[in-house]
Every structure is written in structure tokens, then in C-alpha cells.
């Protein structure tokens, strides 16, 4: 009698289950979700690092400036003097016009961002662009909280040599001076004490430019020194309002330097009486 022995393989066993229906081991599930979590954390870390780098590299952007101010990561604006003022080139009205008039809007945006970034960083990386020459005042405004500089005075003045170039000169100060500027006064910007640095360039109608400037020395700034020797005490602003529009003043059409006619402004004779 011959014995017949048959070995049943797992695949043929009626009790065996298909490998495809077997649930994954618990250890494999945990490893999968841990891998996903690690990748998410790496992405968040990379994004945070790149975001922080962008914020510190571009403090001139309004949102970045607010964040840096909130966490006190901005260095206070320095009050330079004639010996410590950053080295930069002085340009007269003609040179400024030739340098910036041909810029298209995109180029002006990039250049203006660089101006403000350098100012906020106290010119640690890039040198300032200084303005020199004589400019006659045709507009005076008191600064308010909805402007980039939130206290002090700002004046618009036109170059007496090139009418196509005007400046808005910002006088940052905590309190108004007893003796005010008057329409028709001359701002004399030289290479010895004014150090008026450009912060913004804007185009005006009739092929004109307006440059926003601020004195980096914040010292006693003289107006018409040969005539009256009036002095105005300045201080660096504690904080800027980078959400405010630039330029600081509106685009009032530029008026002729001579004769000086400004809507609502005191006459030349009245201005002269105020100097006594």
C-alpha cells in the first residue's frame, strides 16, 4: 500500500489570506506620518529663515519696517556731525537732473527703495547722495502723523539755477521753532554743514524733478545765513511712517521762482516784516 502525502502550500490553503488584504504593520504607519511631519517642519523652518532674511535685508518695505520696529530690531537713526557724516558725492541741480531724469518708473522705484534702505541703516553699506546749491522756498507745511516724517516742517524749494529741479527739504524736530521759515527764503546747501541726503526722487509735469532730502547732521541749520542767520534745531526722528506715501508733500504745480507767488502765502513784504 502506497501512502500519498500532499503538502499544502500557503497559497493553496483555504485558511490563508491574500497578502494584499493584510493591514500594514503599526510601525510602518507611524514612520510614514513622522516623515510627513518632519518635511512640514523643514518647510516651515526654511520659509521662516528666508522670510527673516528678507525682512532684515529690506527694512524700507512698510510691512518689514513695522515688524522690525515692533521687535526693536532697528538701529536708531544716527545724529552725524561734520566729521562723522557718511562719505558721499555732492550734486548740484544740473547734475541731479542729468542723473535721474531719464529713469523709468521701475528704475525709480528700485532707486528710491535703495535710498530709504541706506537711510534706515545709517549708510553702513551704501553712500548717500548729497544735494548742494541754492533753492528758493515756495511751499511750507507742518508735518503730521500720516506723513513719512511725523513731526517737524517740510518745505518745497526750487533751484534758482535750474527751474526744472525742486526739492522738498524735511526739517525733523520735536517742537516748532519760534522763528518760522518764510516764503521766498533761500536754502543754501553746501558741502560743509548741510549734508542734505536724497531719500526719494519723483517726476513732475513739464519735465521736472522733485527730490526729498533730509540733513544727516541734524545740527542747527541756517536759512539765509548772510541775511539773518536764523537757526533751526533739528533731531533725528525716533520712528518713520513707511506706510505713508512719498513724496512727503503733494504734487502742487511748481511756481516760478521770481516773482514768488504761492496760494495763501504771505506777500514778500509781509515775509520781510517777519524777519525783524
pLDDT reported for residue 174 = 81
pLDDT reported for residue 37 = 76
Highest mean pLDDT among 3-7, 11-15, 156-160: 156-160
pLDDT reported for residue 3 = 55
Q: What is the mean pLDDT of the chain?
A: 80
**49 has pLDDT over 70:** no
CA-closest candidate to residue 100, choices 185, 247, 276, 110: 110
**Given pLDDT bands bounded at 50, 70 and 90, which one contains residue 239?**
very high
**Given pLDDT bands bounded at 50, 70 and 90, which one contains residue 230?**
low
More confident residue, 148 or 221: 148
pLDDT reported for residue 96 = 98
| Average pLDDT of the residues in 178-204 | 86
**273 has pLDDT over 70:** no
pLDDT reported for residue 65 = 96
pLDDT reported for residue 42 = 73
CA angle (170 as vertex; 82, 149 as ends), nearest 5: 115
pLDDT reported for residue 270 = 35
**Given pLDDT bands bounded at 50, 70 and 90, which one contains residue 235?**
confident
Amino acid at each position: 500500500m502506497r501512502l500519498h502525502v500532499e503538502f499544502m502550500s500557503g497559497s493553496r490553503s483555504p485558511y490563508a489570506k491574500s497578502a494584499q488584504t493584510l493591514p500594514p504593520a503599526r510601525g510602518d504607519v507611524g514612520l510614514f506620518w513622522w516623515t510627513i511631519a518632519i518635511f512640514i517642519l523643514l518647510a516651515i523652518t526654511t520659509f521662516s529663515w528666508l522670510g527673516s532674511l528678507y525682512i532684515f535685508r529690506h527694512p524700507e518695505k512698510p510691512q518689514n519696517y513695522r515688524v522690525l520696529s515692533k521687535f526693536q530690531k532697528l538701529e536708531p537713526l544716527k545724529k552725524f556731525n561734520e566729521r562723522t557724516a557718511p562719505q558721499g558725492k555732492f550734486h548740484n541741480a544740473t547734475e541731479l537732473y542729468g542723473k535721474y531724469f531719464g529713469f523709468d518708473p521701475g528704475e525709480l522705484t528700485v532707486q528710491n527703495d535703495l535710498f530709504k534702505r541706506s537711510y534706515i541703516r545709517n549708510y553702513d553699506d551704501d553712500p548717500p547722495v548729497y544735494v548742494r546749491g541754492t533753492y528758493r522756498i515756495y511751499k511750507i507745511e507742518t508735518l503730521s502723523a500720516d506723513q513719512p516724517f511725523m513731526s517737524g516742517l517740510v518745505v518745497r524749494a526750487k533751484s534758482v539755477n535750474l527751474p526744472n529741479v525742486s526739492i522738498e527739504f524735511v526739517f525733523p524736530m520735536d517742537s516748532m521753532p519760534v522763528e518760522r521759515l518764510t516764503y521766498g527764503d533761500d536754502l543754501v546747501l553746501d558741502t560743509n554743514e548741510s549734508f542734505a541726503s536724497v531719500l526719494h526722487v519723483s517726476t513732475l509735469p513739464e519735465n521736472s524733478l522733485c527730490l526729498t532730502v533730509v540733513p544727516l547732521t541734524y545740527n542747527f541749520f541756517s536759512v539765509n545765513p548772510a541775511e539773518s542767520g536764523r537757526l533751526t534745531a533739528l533731531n533725528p526722528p525716533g520712528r518713520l511712517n513707511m506706510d505713508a506715501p512719498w513724496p512727503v508733500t503733494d504734487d502742487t504745480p511748481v511756481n516760478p521762482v521770481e516773482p514768488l507767488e504761492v496760494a495763501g502765502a504771505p506777500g514778500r513784504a509781509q515775509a520781510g516784516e517777519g524777519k525783524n
